[in-house]
Amino acid sequence: MAYRFLLVQLGDIGDLVLTTPAIAALRETYPEAHIALFCSAQASKILQPDLLNEVITFDKASFNGTLSVLRPANLRRILGLRSGHYDSVIFFQHFTLKLGTLKYYLIAKASGARDVVGLDNGNGWFLTHSLPDEGFGAKHQAQYWLDLVALAGSRSDPRGAQVALDGGILPIGLYHGRRIVIHAGGGGYSLARRWSPEKFAQVADALAVAYDAQIVLVGTPDDHAQQVADAMQQSAINLAGKTSLTQLADVLRSADLYIGADSGVTHMAAAVRTPTLAIFGPSNEKAWSPWSPGGIVKVLRTDVRCGPCSYINHDVGLREGCPERTCMRLVTPDQAIAAARDILDGNSDAEPEVDVQPSSEPTVAAKLPTDRDVIRILGVPVDRITYRKWMNQIDRWIRDDSRHHQVCTVNPEFMVMAQRDFNFATILRRADLCLADGVGLLWAAKRLGQPLPERVTGSDGVVMIAEEAAKKGWKLFLLGAAPGVADQAAAVMREHLPEIQIVGTYSGSPAAEEEDEIVAMVNASGADILLVAYGAPKQDKWIARNLHRLDVKMAMGVGGALDFIAGIIPRAPEQMRDLGLEWLYRLYKQPWRIRRMLRLPAFVLLFVLRGSR
Q: CATH: 3.20.20.70, 3.40.50.2300, 2.60.120.10, 3.30.420.40. Which one for 374-583?
A: 3.40.50.2300
Which has the closest alpha carbon to 278: 289, 291, 286? 289
Question: What number is the average pLDDT over the span 176-182?
Answer: 93
What is the three-class DSSP state of 527?
coil
Please report the pLDDT score of residue 290 as a whole number.
97
Please report the pLDDT score of residue 55 as a whole number.
96
CA distances from 121 to 65, 130, 135, 253 (A): 20, 10, 8, 37
Which has the closest alpha carbon to 73: 95, 97, 92, 57? 57
Please report the pLDDT score of residue 107 as a whole number.
92
Answer whether residue 360 shows pLDDT above 60: no
Answer whether residue 180 shows pLDDT above 90: yes
Confidence class for position 122, pLDDT limits 50, 70, 90: very high
How many CA atoms does the CB half-sphere of 437 hold within 13 Å? Answer: 25
CATH number of 179-357: 3.40.50.2000
Confidence class for position 596, pLDDT limits 50, 70, 90: low
| 315-342 CB burial, b ≥16 within 10 A, e <16 | bebbbebbebbbbbbbbebebbbebbbb
What does the mean pLDDT of the chain come to?
A: 91
Q: Could you tell me which residue, 583 or 308, shows the higher pLDDT?
A: 308
DSSP string, 165-223: ---S--TT---SS-EEEEE----TT-GGGPPPHHHHHHHHHHHHHHHTPEEEEES-TTS
pLDDT digits (tens, 9 = 90+) for 47-70: 999 999 999 998 877 777 666 767
pLDDT digits (tens, 9 = 90+) for 61-115: 777 766 676 778 778 888 888 888 999 999 999 999 887 788 899 999 999 999 9
Give yes or no for a contact between 152 and 302, defined as CB atoms under 8 angstroms apart. no
CATH 3.40.50.2000 spans which residues of the chain? 4-152, 179-357
Q: What one-letter code names the amino acid at 124? A: G
Answer whether residue 146 shows pLDDT above 70: yes
Please report the pLDDT score of residue 597 as a whole number.
61
Please report the pLDDT score of residue 427 as a whole number.
97
Answer whether residue 278 shows pLDDT above 50: yes
Answer whether residue 588 shows pLDDT above 90: no
Which sign does the torsion angle of CA 491, 495, 497, 501 carry?
positive
CATH number of 4-152: 3.40.50.2000
CA distance 181 to 269: 9
Of 256-270, 400-414, 485-499, 522-536, give the lowest mean pLDDT range. 400-414
Percent over 70 (pLDDT), the chain: 92
pLDDT digits (tens, 9 = 90+) for 374-418: 999 999 999 999 999 999 999 999 998 778 999 999 999 999 999
Question: What number is the average pLDDT over the span 11-31?
Answer: 97
Confidence class for position 139, pLDDT limits 50, 70, 90: very high
Question: What number is the average pLDDT over the span 135-160?
Answer: 97
CATH 3.40.50.2300 spans which residues of the chain? 374-583
pLDDT digits (tens, 9 = 90+) for 301-330: 999 999 999 999 999 999 889 999 999 999
